[in-house]
C-alpha cells in the first residue's frame, strides 16, 4: 500500500455525525473529517451553517485506499444510507445544509459518479436530486464535531448502520 493508492472524495447525506461514523466503520476508509463544503467563504462556523445563509452543506471528506474500496462502492454506501430523491432533507434534518451531495476533485471521479447514478436511476420512482459538483471549498468543522458519535454514542444519528454487511466492516466493528 502506497500513498498513491489513497484518494479523496467529499459526500453529504444529512447530519455529518452519522455519515462520518458510517464511513469510518468501512474497510478501506483511511480517514474521515467532517466539515462544510461548497458554500460562500472559506471560514464558517457550525452555527452559521445551521442558519442556512452560507450555502454550505454538512459534509464528510473521505480518504480511502482505492485498492481496498472503490469509488463505486463508496457511492453504493452513500445511496444505501440516504434518500437521494429528497431535496434539502434527510430524516429529521431539514435545510439546505442537509442536502445530499458528492463533491469531487478530478474529472475522472465526476465520470465515475455520473455513470454510477445513471446505473441506479431505475431503482427510484422519483428523480435523484443528489448534487454532483466539483469541490469548491471545504472548511473543517470544529473539533467537537470530529468523530462526534464515538465520544457521544447516544448522540443524534439518522443513519441505519445495519445496512453495512459484516464483510464490509473493519475488524474492530465485528466484535
| Active-site position among 9, 12, 15, 60 | 15
Size of the chain, expressed as the number of residues it contains:
175
Helices (H), the chain: 16-24, 46-50, 71-81, 107-120, 148-151
CA angle 73-161-56, nearest 5°? 70
- What are φ and ψ of residue 128, in 5° steps? -75, 125
Helix (H) or strand (E) holding 164: none
CA angle 89-91-92, nearest 5°? 85
Please say whether the beta carbons of 19 and 162 come within 8 A: no
Is 15 designated active site? yes
- Which residues form the catalytic set? 15
Amino acid at each position: 500500500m502506497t500513498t498513491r493508492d489513497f484518494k479523496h472524495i467529499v459526500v453529504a447525506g444529512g447530519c455529518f455525525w452519522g455519515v462520518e461514523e458510517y464511513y469510518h466503520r468501512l474497510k478501506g476508509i483511511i480517514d474521515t473529517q467532517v466539515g462544510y463544503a461548497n458554500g460562500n467563504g472559506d471560514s464558517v462556523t457550525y452555527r452559521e451553517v445551521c442558519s442556512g445563509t452560507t450555502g454550505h452543506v454538512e459534509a464528510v471528506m473521505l480518504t480511502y485506499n482505492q485498492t481496498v474500496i472503490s469509488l463505486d462502492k463508496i457511492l453504493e454506501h452513500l445511496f444505501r444510507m440516504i434518500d437521494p430523491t429528497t431535496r434539502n432533507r434527510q430524516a429529521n434534518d431539514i435545510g439546505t445544509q442537509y442536502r445530499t451531495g458528492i463533491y469531487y476533485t478530478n474529472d475522472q471521479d465526476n465520470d465515475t459518479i455520473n455513470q454510477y447514478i445513471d446505473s441506479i436511476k431505475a431503482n427510484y420512482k422519483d428523480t435523484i436530486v443528489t448534487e454532483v459538483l466539483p469541490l469548491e471549498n471545504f472548511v473543517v468543522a470544529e473539533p467537537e464535531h470530529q468523530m462526534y458519535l464515538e465520544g457521544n454514542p447516544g448522540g443524534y444519528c439518522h443513519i441505519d448502520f445495519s445496512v453495512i454487511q459484516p464483510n464490509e466492516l473493519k475488524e474492530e466493528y465485528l466484535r
